[in-house]
A and B are shown apart, each in its own frame.
Chain A
Amino acid sequence: MTPGRLDFAIDVPVTSDWPNVEHLRSSVDRMIRLIAGDAAAGQTVSLVAAELAENAIKYGAWREDAGTLRVRVWGDYPHAHVMVESPVGTGDEVPEGLSKTLSFISAYPSALEAYQAKIAERADSSDGAASGLGLLRVSYEAGCTLRAEVEGATLRIVADMEL
């Protein structure tokens, strides 16, 4: 790395065991704090990595109890990106629930308004079904844009943010 530049990248396989979400979050938090010297930046990027990894573990098309997701965190501070890859069925499109959540976010003038609408929706709901709250949360709290694509049997979701 050229002195003075703040480009960074980690690209790691993560076993889809739930406790690894917290290991990932705390590792990303420390890495970004080291680069940025800013606790808030570490919390922001690590929150995104953790929420995307949680979704991947919960909703990925795992063929066995455990598999491996791919997590990449990179950027050139203050620009940062998080990408999480997990399995989908071959030939599938972006899962409907994920597409709906991304559309829900874009239907509102701001990420805060979308997130608050989802919070109010959850408050009025009596079931514990998946809500997409995590993606709305990172869209708002990290101020990130989210995009999803499927390539082969892999779902890739990417968050782009400015710290």
Chain B
Amino acid sequence: MEDLAFGDLKLRVQPSAEGPLIVLWEGKSVDRQPGKTLDPYFASLLESAKASARGLEMRFDRVEHFNSSTITSIIGLVQRARTLGVALVLVYDKSQKWQRLSFDALRVLGKNDGLLEVRSV
């Protein structure tokens, strides 16, 4: 999978052959319609993870800010991962209040099916 550079946002895919596919979020996601770019990229990530029987780990701990439209895309990512049966981990920085609040709220998407983990560093 290739990295994504989109406005002030960079998503970097960590090279690894085992374990979950790890994607590092850096910068800011402030586009008016981020889903136009993020949604198809997420779909590709999930297809790649599924094809190699791996999970997907999104690491947000270095991201500076994202707008609520980005949260809509993240909600879509969670749903798409569940549909495909891909285990998804969202990692955030608990020392940053805004990240703690944002990701604590997203725990509502958990279904006790083991397919979504929201974890702090």
Our verdict on whether A and B bind, yes or no, reads: yes
Q: Specify the chain A residue showing the minimal Cβ separation from B102.
A: A141
Total contacting residues, chain A, CB less than 8 A: 26
| Complex Cα gap A140–B79 (Å) | 23
Total contacting residues, chain B, CB less than 8 A: 23
* Residues of chain A from 126 to 163 with CB closer than 8 A to chain B in the complex: 128, 131, 133-134, 137, 140-141
**B65, A25: Cβ atoms under 8 Å?**
yes
Contact with A along B86-113 (1 / 0, CB 8 A): 0000000000111001100110110000
Min CB–CB distance A74 → chain B (angstroms): 22
Min CB–CB distance B12 → chain A (angstroms): 21
* Cross-chain pair count, CB within 8 angstroms: 64
**A141, B79: Cβ atoms under 8 Å?**
no
| Complex Cα gap A6–B96 (Å) | 24
**A44, B71: Cβ atoms under 8 Å?**
no
**B35, A133: Cβ atoms under 8 Å?**
no
**A141, B67: Cβ atoms under 8 Å?**
no
Whether A22 sits at the interface, judged by CB under 8 Å, is yes
